[in-house]
Amino acid sequence: MLFANTGVVFRPMRTTLSSRPRATGRLALRPFRRRDVDPLIEAVHASVPELGQWLPWVHTRYGRSDAIRFVRDSAAAWVEGRAFDFTIRDPQRADRHLGNISVWHTSRREQAGELGYWIRTDETGNGIATEAACRVLQIAFEELYLHRVTLRIAVGNRASERIAEKVGFTKEGLLRQEVLVKGEWLDHTLYGMLEEEFKENKQKYTELGWIV
């Protein structure tokens, strides 16, 4: 639908997404399967101190029941169009879980969504989160037809702030005491990207090899 007075083209948001794998320059992103449970547990255990600093669901006894519940909920959320979780893999070492990246709707009326991610600690610093974030932004804007995607990053989480900066998110404000982590309410910075900004950045992402 075209709003003639503003020139804005309105495309109804989609809530279904193909489960086919998506490639980035170096990585493969795909939905979770039942056999991802063990690699997921292994990756969480290898990263508890770093993940636990910022993510409320992480604990040292993270085990089979947690991972099975996650994979089951993730499959249901995908089918119901509530959230789309991807396991991040290196095609050369496809049995190793490198991390998670997800996009979900925060408002269907406003065609808004949010991005979340984590990377196993022994693979950080290699640009994996940045590359995966760009690819999932592409899914958000070009396949789900979202209008706006946000990121909430705990104040002090410099690595995640760097991802927002590198990808070109705009810092929009402070969310006070947004998430409870280990008994402490953490302030978060809200970052946002609009569909038109993604379009402007796309050439750069391609040149950098983040999307193909």
Ligand X SMILES: CC(C)(COP(=O)(O)OP(=O)(O)OC[C@H]1O[C@@H](n2cnc3c(N)ncnc32)[C@H](O)[C@@H]1OP(=O)(O)O)[C@@H](O)C(=O)NCCC(=O)NCCS
Site for ligand X, rule CB under 6 A: 50-51, 54-55, 117-119, 124-130, 153, 157-160, 162-163
- Position of tokens 């950080």? 124
Minimal distance, residue 16 CB to ligand X, in Å: 26
Minimal distance, residue 56 CB to ligand X, in Å: 11
Which residue lies nearer to ligand X by CB, 8 or 125?
Answer: 125
Which residue lies nearer to ligand X by CB, 110 or 165?
Answer: 165
Which residue lies nearer to ligand X by CB, 30 or 81?
Answer: 30
Which residue lies nearer to ligand X by CB, 131 or 195?
Answer: 131
C-alpha closest to that of 91 among 29, 20, 27, 25: 27
3-state DSSP of 99-156? EEEEEEEEECCCCEEEEEEEECHHHCCCCHHHHHHHHHHHHHHHHCCCCEEEEEEECC
- Position of tokens 């693979």? 123
What token pair was written down for 179? 């998430």
CB 145 within 8 A of CB 13: yes
Label residues 100-116 b or e (16+ Cβ within 10 Å = b): bbbbbbeeeeebbbbbb
Minimal distance, residue 54 CB to ligand X, in Å: 4
Using DSSP's 3-state secondary structure scheme, residue 187 falls into strand
Minimal distance, residue 68 CB to ligand X, in Å: 22
Minimal distance, residue 91 CB to ligand X, in Å: 17
Residue 74's H or E segment, with its range, is helix 64-80
Using DSSP's 3-state secondary structure scheme, residue 164 falls into helix
Which residue lies nearer to ligand X by CB, 112 or 190?
Answer: 190
Which residue lies nearer to ligand X by CB, 13 or 87?
Answer: 87
Minimal distance, residue 17 CB to ligand X, in Å: 22
